Structure 1
Amino acid sequence: MSIEAVTAGNELMQQMRVLAAEAASIAPAAPEPALGGGVPADFASYMQASIQGVNAQQLDASARMQAVEAGESTDLVGTMISSQKASLSFSALVQVRNKLMSGLDDIMDMAL
């Protein structure tokens, strides 16, 4: 296994940890089987929680933008910060997806 593959795997895991931490702080997740430290027991649960967290951030940002546009809120700074957080979370999620797909392609190209 090359150093680049190990480095890419480590970066991917770090990105997923960040997304999971954000997801846990935004919306309460349904109880999941967990290992020590609150980490979901399987990868699918981990990714689902991350996607739900990013979705919650995007919905919150959208609601804040609509409130500002309708004149119901004057918190423009909070709205812009919320929007940037949602954008950054979505970008990170897309990068994780791209890394996973690249890793899967690498595995599929391996000779047996």
Structure 2
Amino acid sequence: MEKINPAFLNHLSQMNQIKSQISENNLALIGSTQNNQIQFKDIMSQVLNNVNDHQKFASSKVTAIETGKSDDLVGAMIATQKASLSFSGLMEVRNKLVTAFEEIYKMPV
């Protein structure tokens, strides 16, 4: 039987923290909308802002390493990967939405 890598457990706990933050953000968004109606534009705006924040943070971490202000290479790589994954997820959602729109567009009236 193989032992579980401690780094894997660390990544798993980080993923659980991100999952709980996303759930909390969604609940906050639901509570902030009028009559508890969630609008698509609000959700997409929040997602785009989150992806943009991840990209800006990763960029600042890499810039700090390049200029010698920081030596946290691991933190910069993790931030870069997080930004990359969030952008990839956003592109997958966009592709699914485009496909759904194309299917609706092809429906006979």
What one-letter code is carried by the residue in structure 2 that aligns with 1:33? T
Identity of aligned residues (%): 39
Q: 1:56 aligns with which of 40, 53, 56?
A: 53
SS in structure 2 of the partner of residue 54 of structure 1: helix
Alpha carbons 1:32, 1:45 under 8 Å: kept: no
Structure 1 residue runs of 5 or longer lacking an equivalent are: 1-17
Equivalence for 2:104: 107
Indicate whether 1:88 and 2:89 are aligned: no
SS in structure 2 of the partner of residue 41 of structure 1: coil
Residues matched between the structures, number = 85
What one-letter code is carried by the residue in structure 2 that aligns with 1:41? I
**Cα RMSD, aligned residues only:** 2.5
User: Normalising by the residue count of structure 1, what TM-score does the alignment of the two structures yield?
Assistant: 0.68
What one-letter code is carried by the residue in structure 2 that aligns with 1:44? K
Deviation at 1:41, TM superposition (A): 1.6
Structure number with greater CO (CA < 8 Å, separation at least 6) is: 1
Q: What whole-Å deviation, never above 9, does each CA across 1:35-76 have from its counterpart, x for those lacking one?
A: 3xxxx7201100000000000000000000000000100100
Equivalence for 1:7: none
Q: Which runs of 4+ in 1 moved over 6 A?
A: none
Deviation at 1:32, TM superposition (A): 3.9
Question: Take 1:66 and 1:98, find their aligned partners in 2: how far apart are those partners?
Answer: 31
Question: Take 1:32 and 1:46, find their aligned partners in 2: how far apart are those partners?
Answer: 12
Structure 2 residue runs of 5 or longer lacking an equivalent are: 1-18
